[in-house]
């Protein structure tokens, strides 16, 4: 799966989280919207091929710890000359997203009746989740790097245990408040911060983030007359 479609670049597209994993995420999202298993059936070979390709790239611990990654692309605090240089480690982002990808892959295989594949991808999902937890999460629920993106992904991708959610949610709310309820996340984290705050029942922080109008925020472009996302 190339990074952009149509692929007009001169650089070969290596497997990357949040870009290449659209091979799995898009069919799964369409299935969620339309409940038509034929969508998964038509895309299954591509979905499985991508997942197995990344599986082969995992390190001995089960982490996606090598290779190029866009990471939390365009984090507002990233250097202008390095839009992938976010507060959140790019391989933490990759490993978190592969947790989500393997969950989706296992469910797709189960829905289509691919019993052996379903068992394999379920075991893989457990392996990568356990690896992420060992590397990045304390027993109480604190996450290495202490960034909003890291907490949001861990919460929304069900990497945390239930008893860790209150600590992680409270810490995410603190980080959102520290940023003045403006957006402090890039491509990887921004779509998940509000759902993560809601899942952790941090309602006040969620509403303050959602209704902020200072730049950068969800409503700043609207306050300036925008009718699409800038």
Per-run averaged pLDDT (10 residues), the chain, 230 residues? 88 93 97 98 98 98 97 95 95 98 98 98 98 97 96 98 97 98 97 98 98 95 89
Question: What is residue 229's predicted lDDT score, i.e. its pLDDT?
Answer: 74
Q: Find the domain containing 48 and state its range.
A: 1-136
Q: Are residues 86 and 188 in the same domain?
A: no
- The answer to whether 122 and 45 are in contact (CB under 8 A) is no
Query: What's the pLDDT score for residue 228?
Result: 83
Q: Is residue 150 part of a domain?
A: no
Are 26 and 110 members of one domain? yes
Do the beta carbons of residue 137 and residue 113 sit within 8 Å? no
Q: Do 129 and 167 share a domain, yes or no?
A: no
Q: Are 41 and 52 in contact (CB under 8 A)?
A: no
119 in the same domain as 170: no
- Nearest partner of 92 among 60, 128, 56, judged by Cα: 128
Write out the DSSP string of 187-229: TTTHHHHHHHHHHTT-HHHHHHHHT--SSSSSSHHHHTT-SS-
Are residues 131 and 169 both part of a single domain? no
The answer to whether residues 132 and 167 belong to one domain is no
Q: For position 150, what pLDDT does the model report?
A: 98
Query: Cα–Cα distance between 131 and 59 in angstroms, integer?
Result: 10
CA atoms within a 13 Å half-sphere pointing along the CA-CB vector of 130: 9
Structural tokens at position 123: 């075991």
Would you say residue 48 lies in a domain?
yes
Q: Would you say the C-alpha torsion 19, 60, 48, 195 has a positive or negative sign?
A: negative
Q: How many domains does the chain have?
A: 2
Angstrom CA distances, 6 to 1, 2, 16, 57, stand at 10, 8, 17, 26
Quote the pTM value. 0.95
Q: What are phi and psi of 143, to 5 degrees?
A: -125, 140
pLDDT tens-digit profile of 138-153?
Answer: 999 999 999 999 999 9
Q: Are residues 73 and 113 in the same domain?
A: yes
Residue 230's pLDDT is what? Answer: 76
Handedness of CA 95, 72, 155, 3 (dihedral sign): negative
For residue 166, which phi and psi values (nearest 5 degrees)?
Answer: -60, -45
Q: Is there a single domain that holds both residue 119 and residue 174?
A: no
What is the domain-level CATH number for residue 4? 1.50.10.10
| Residue 171 and residue 82 in one domain | no
Residue 201 lies in a domain: yes
The torsion region of residue 55 among left (phi > 0), alpha (psi -120 to 50) and beta comes to alpha
- The pLDDT score that the predictor gives to residue 34 is 98
Q: What is the CA radius of gyration of the chain?
A: 18
Q: Is residue 157 part of a domain?
A: no
The angle, 0 to 180 degrees and rounded to 10, between the axes of the packed helices 148-156 and 190-199 is 60
Both 107 and 190 in one domain: the answer is: no
Q: Is residue 51 left, alpha or beta, with left meaning phi > 0 and alpha meaning psi from -120 to 50? A: alpha
- 143 bridge partner residues: 137
Rounded to whole angstroms, the Cα distance separating 222 from 219 reads 5
For residue 137, list its beta bridge partners: 143
């Amino acid at each position: 799966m190339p990074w952009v479609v149509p692929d007009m670049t001169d650089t070969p597209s290596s497997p990357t989280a949040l870009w290449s994993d659209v091979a799995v995420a898009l069919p799964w999202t369409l299935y969620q919207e339309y409940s038509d298993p034929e969508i998964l059936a038509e895309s299954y070979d591509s979905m499985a091929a991508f997942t197995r390709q990344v599986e082969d790239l995992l390190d001995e611990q089960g982490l996606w710890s090598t290779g190029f990654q866009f990471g939390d692309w365009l984090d507002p605090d990233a250097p202008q000359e390095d839009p992938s240089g976010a507060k959140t480690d790019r391989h933490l982002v990759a490993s978190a997203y592969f947790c989500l990808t393997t969950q989706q892959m296992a469910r797709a295989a189960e829905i289509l009746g691919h019993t052996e594949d379903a068992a394999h991808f379920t075991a893989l999902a457990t392996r990568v989740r356990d690896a992420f937890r060992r590397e990045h999460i304390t027993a109480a629920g604190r996450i290495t790097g202490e960034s909003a993106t890291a907490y949001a992904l861990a919460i929304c991708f069900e990497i945390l245990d239930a008893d860790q959610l209150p600590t992680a949610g409270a810490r995410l709310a603190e980080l959102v408040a520290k940023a003045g309820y403006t957006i402090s996340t890039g491509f990887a984290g921004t779509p998940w911060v509000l759902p993560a705050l809601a899942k952790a029942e941090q309602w006040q922080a969620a509403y303050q983030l959602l209704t902020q109008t200072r730049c950068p925020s969800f409503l700043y472009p609207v306050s300036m007359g925008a009718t699409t996302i800038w």
